[in-house]
Structure 1
Amino acid sequence: MRFFKVFLAAFLAFVAFSLLCLFIVVFMIGKALSSSEKVAIAPNGVLVLETGQTYNEQKLVNPLGALMNNEPGEVPGLFQTVRLINNAAGDDNIKGIYLKVNGNPNGFASTEELRNAILRFRKSKKFVVAYGEVMDQNAYYLASAADKVYLNPKGGVDFTGFASQVMFLKGTLDKLEIKPEIFYCGKFKSATEPLRETQMTEANRIQTTQFLGELYGNFLTGISSTRSIDTATLHGYANENLIQEPADALKYKLVDGLKYDDEVVAELKSKTGVKGDDKVNLVTLGKYNSGTELSPGSGEGRIAIIYAQGDIIGGESDRDNTIASENYIREIRKVREDKDIKAIVFRVNSGGGSALASEVIWRELSLAKKVKPVVVSMGDYAASGGYYISCMADSIFAEPNTLTGSIGVFGVMFNMQDFFKNKVGVTFDAVKTAPYADLGSVGRPLNEAEKRFIQNGVDSTYASFKSRVAAGRKLNLAVVDSIAQGHVWSGIQAKELGLVDRIGGINEALACAARLAKISEYRLREYPEVKDPLSKLMKTFGADVSAKLVKKELGVNYDMYQQIKEVQQLHGDIQARMPFKYNF
């Protein structure tokens, strides 16, 4: 009896302690988040933008950062950052921008949006100073928008041109005796090449050369316009590998000076009139976001921005950067049925995923289009399934360096019979009530009839995909077939082919949506709604910590790890997915 009394007392004490800890955590998070909303921006400030920050499409609530008081409680999204830069141009408390260049993990189109925002900021006659120790090409492209670009005297600028490298897994699968059984439509549909080839097919090499050339051309043109160096000369720098030392970057006018951090800070002091030992009022993006109330717009009309970023999957999901069909059906339907919302801007940044989930989202957007204008704004990727969910729009905008198209589908089944038998000593046997009851089992190969079934399904899905594009883009089906075949296109190429209507970003898409809705003034509403900070903390704490630990441990090999994980998810479902993420 005494044992149970002690046990009960200990248990109750544990429960009380847990509740107390939970209360303290909730209180601290609430205090941190609420305090971040009361930041005052002091006069004579310099807005600090870090090129090394990842800008997701939609803002992220960061309760752990707020709790530890070393990060902002809210990480602005890409469009939110663009709006903050636009706001800073007219903010008397902000005298200029300090662009800290330390890598750039963002895609080409996202970088283009940020770069254009900085160029617009410069029209206010305020300064933009960029400084970095080592600048990769994507970071330098962003830095080149500044009116002054400084490099550490012992640093470096990468200016060697673009390359796209694909990792092929066929040799590994052969060694493991894993046999992928692959079904696809479209000679350019190269998503399965890493599983069935040891190098690029000729078709893939052709398409990659084409769009890589377009991306590189845009890169050179952008730098040429701000550094006043013609594109042929810039191309020559890369061809001859002329930029090897910091002095080379200065000699060939890629940078305006070689300076250390303290010298750059001294220049910022001079530009803002700071005297003596007083510090420059450096305002981080997070702080400026906390202290700035962006106008939602005016007027009675509303325009909804629906952000769709990440892999397209069926069902529901609580994960960030995932386009789960059930989640998006609800969001789109809610916006469609809201009579105050006059138009929709659907922001797509996705290389695709499940073909069925893409069809389901396409259907819901098609219903929305019947009652109000739908305009698509493409981000870094809007390819395969990402294009599937875009093709029905009234108008489509892409950046010149968006990767889109990839109209094609595939399916993969893995026969792991020999792997299990010869590598780990596992064998399989089964009892069936019908001949195909175990179709899809990894424990045996497919027979010829089953292969025909799966290929028929892939062919049917591909035909549906092309018909959606033909109807949405008002193109002849034969024309669609000629530009489909799984071919990946740049935004510029896509516009020439009729897959995209205009070159531009979110602002241009919003202006178009307003014109189509016949409204001159409007307020913005953003979807999906950002998750409650506490529930997000509870659901994602373990996953976030694990992901960060893995990423830190693997470093540059993290992308390879992600690619292998993606392979595991391909088994069974018909996929409308572009080739694995390109590395440039």
Structure 2
Amino acid sequence: MRTLWRAIAGFFKWTWRLLNFVREFILNLFLVVLILICIGVYVQFSRPATPEQSPKGALIVDLSGTVVDKPSVSNKLSKLGRQLLGTNSNRLKENSLFDVVDAIRQAKGDANITGMVLDLRDFAGADQPSLQYMGKALREFRDSGKQIYATGDSYSQAQYYLASFANKIYLSPQGTVDIHGFATNGLYYKSLLDNLKVSSHVFRVGTYKSAVEPFLRDDMSPAAREADSRWMGELWQNYLNTLAANRQITPDQVFPGAQGLLDALQKTGGDTAEYAKNARLVDELASRSAVDQQLTKVFGWDKEAKDFNGTSIYDYQVKDQQSADGNIAVIMANGAIMDGDETAGTVGGASPNTLTGSIGIFGVINTVENSLGAIGVHTDGVSTSPLADVATTKALPPEVQQMMQLSIENGYKNFLNLVAQARNKTPEQIDQIAQGHVWTGSDAKANGLVDALGDFDDAVAKAAELAKLKQPQLNWYQDDPGMLDMLFSQMDVSIRAALPDVLKVWLPAPVMDTMAAMRDQPGLFDNLNDPQNRYAICLTCGQVK
């Protein structure tokens, strides 16, 4: 018996020693990595700022991940993180829209840059206004006389939007140009709530405020369908018109409709690449090696890199546009506006492809008294007034329901008054274009919600005009993330990238969508601090896919 206890004790003793060794090893490893990172940061920032000559050749716009107005990690730190930590999660990376545009515009006048190559295989996308702004910069580059070449195994809709600005588009013989249209999809769970005997108390103002419909219906209402079809149709037509103009074909040639596409594919025997070539969506079908050979003839051969002469947009040295003496302030606002200090993802600008409006207000309270009653659980007690007797386990008192509706109507009235005052209109005029309506930028201008259509450049020009500035200089007011922000952001991206695909498959779509939404506005629900619980949040933005 004593021998058995010795064996058991010995096992636990060596197990404990092993755990201690693993713990100390991991901590020491983390410390060594941290020291190396700190040394790398010190070397990077202490290196004298000497002007670097860009190698002659192409600017390779090999965008990876998404393009946003304000990345969670600055491009400089992100680049350093890739150099020090390394990651294969390119499609999870965020790029600054303004950094991308600045690089393209600088390359336009750079004598060392003789052309551009759009390598968009890892580009995950951007919203419509951002794509339009990048397209404007590409058009300026092309109009300067420098050639743009786009290459890809296949093109998504966002990738092809940028590729359409190229002088020549290459496509793999086994590739496809995936132009299929825009769509929004949402879950409706009234029947689920009914089956679970959950009581949903919905309070709203606005005929077109469709955010509460999942609690009330099992499908989209005719009013919401009509409203969404209108603004989505305008965005889709803007998309087609841009591509058609770039490729000098008609919008119907860009996308002939589902049946037209099917008929054309039947003629090519299902060959999507041949269809793209016949429809003039691309100029040449060629493998990667064949494209590289042609680009080598254009840009020359780099013996060291064993590739055609070119510089990645991530390695291209862009002159710092930041100036403490700037006379126009640029303030980045993203997310919901909260009281107190700004946090990442909390706190967007007028383009024909933006979504404006959605002026409406709603509230939802779910109670589960019937659900609990179905399994024999009941709630009872005493209260000094019906207003104190509010709980998710009890039916909502009628007085509370009436007060909620009054609060919703008052919030809507205040909203109308604020917008009417700012836009020099009457509340009645605003009410006619409110009711939860979502408008595109073009419609918003026609309805007087915005003054003019334009992009960031137009806003800067207008600010300079109003301030009577002859030489406008921008001063960007934004906090640069620190070293720890970069470290943990890179670790988070790497971990999510390493998540096994089999696990992602098992996660239901609503869970993945919710994770994506929470990632887009991190910490949002931790910072909701309005005393009356009223918030201005766009629930439509980012749904188009």
TM tier, smaller: 0.7 to 0.9
Could you tell me how far apart the structure 1 residues matched to 2:365 and 2:31 are?
Answer: 51
1:94-105 counterparts in 2 under 5 A? 94-102=113-121, 104-105=124-125
Residues 101, 139 of structure 1: 8 Å contact kept: yes
Could you tell me how far apart the structure 1 residues matched to 2:173 and 2:377 are?
Answer: 60
Q: CA 1:94–1:406 in 2, change beyond 3 Å: closer, same or farther?
A: same
Matched, 1:282 2:310: yes
Counterpart residue number, 1:409: 361
TM-score (norm. length: structure 2):
0.80
Counterpart residue number, 2:139: 119
1:105-504 counterparts in 2 under 5 A? 105-236=125-256, 240-241=260-261, 242=264, 245-274=272-301, 278-288=306-316, 291-296=317-322, 301-312=326-337, 318=343, 320-323=344-347, 348=348, 378=349, 398-419=350-371, 428=379, 432=383, 434-439=385-390, 441-504=391-454
Q: CA 1:477–1:555 in 2, change beyond 3 Å: closer, same or farther?
A: farther
Residues 188, 207 of structure 1: 8 Å contact kept: yes
For 1:68, give the aligned amino acid: L
Structure 1 window deviating more from structure 2 (58-67 vs 446-455): it is 58-67
Superposition deviation, residue 69 in structure 1? 4.3
Could you tell me how far apart the structure 2 residues matched to 1:155 and 1:89 are?
Answer: 30
Could you tell me how far apart the structure 1 residues matched to 2:377 and 2:461 are?
Answer: 61
Superposition deviation, residue 126 in structure 1? 1.1
Matched, 1:47 2:59: yes
Could you tell me how far apart the structure 1 residues matched to 2:498 and 2:443 are?
Answer: 39
For 1:67, give the aligned amino acid: L
Aligned pair count reads 498
Counterpart residue number, 2:536: 576
**Identity within the alignment, %:** 29
Task: Summarize deviations over 1:321-370 as a string: whole Å, max 9, x none.
Answer: 332xxxxxxxxxxxxxxxxxxxxxxxx1xxxxxxxxxxxxxxxxxxxxxx
Superposition deviation, residue 574 in structure 1? 3.6
Counterpart residue number, 1:24: 35
Superposition deviation, residue 459 in structure 1? 1.0
Task: Summarize deviations over 1:487-541 as a string: whole Å, max 9, x none.
Answer: 1111111111111222221111111111111112232222331221225535x57
Could you tell me how far apart the structure 2 residues matched to 1:276 and 1:522 are?
Answer: 43
Aligned with residue 511 of structure 2, among 535, 544, 561: 561
Unaligned runs of 5+ in 2: 1-16, 519-523
Q: CA 1:400–1:554 in 2, change beyond 3 Å: closer, same or farther?
A: farther
Could you tell me how far apart the structure 2 residues matched to 1:551 and 1:454 are?
Answer: 45
Counterpart residue number, 2:96: 77
Superposition deviation, residue 560 in structure 1? 3.0
Q: CA 1:414–1:575 in 2, change beyond 3 Å: closer, same or farther?
A: farther
TM-score (norm. length: structure 1):
0.75
For 2:404, give the aligned amino acid: I
For 1:77, give the aligned amino acid: S
Superposition deviation, residue 134 in structure 1? 2.0
Q: CA 1:87–1:275 in 2, change beyond 3 Å: closer, same or farther?
A: closer
Residues 66, 94 of structure 2: 8 Å contact kept: no
Could you tell me how far apart the structure 1 residues matched to 2:374 and 2:342 are?
Answer: 37
Task: Summarize deviations over 1:16-55 as a string: whole Å, max 9, x none.
Answer: 9599548515524515754998894532132222455211
For 1:310, give the aligned amino acid: G
Residues 52, 105 of structure 1: 8 Å contact kept: no
| SS in structure 1 at match of 2:315 | helix
| SS in structure 1 at match of 2:314 | helix
Unaligned runs of 5+ in 1: 1-6, 324-347, 349-377, 379-397
Could you tell me how far apart the structure 1 residues matched to 2:226 and 2:42 are?
Answer: 56
Could you tell me how far apart the structure 1 residues matched to 2:494 and 2:533 are?
Answer: 30
For 1:80, give the aligned amino acid: D
Choose 1 or 2 for highest CA Rg: 2
Residues 190, 578 of structure 1: 8 Å contact kept: no
Matched, 1:91 2:110: yes
Q: CA 1:555–1:575 in 2, change beyond 3 Å: closer, same or farther?
A: farther
For 2:538, give the aligned amino acid: M
Root mean square deviation, CA, Å: 3.8
For 2:430, give the aligned amino acid: V
Counterpart residue number, 1:382: none
Could you tell me how far apart the structure 1 residues matched to 2:506 and 2:104 are?
Answer: 31
Residues 301, 521 of structure 1: 8 Å contact kept: no
Could you tell me how far apart the structure 1 residues matched to 2:484 and 2:283 are?
Answer: 47
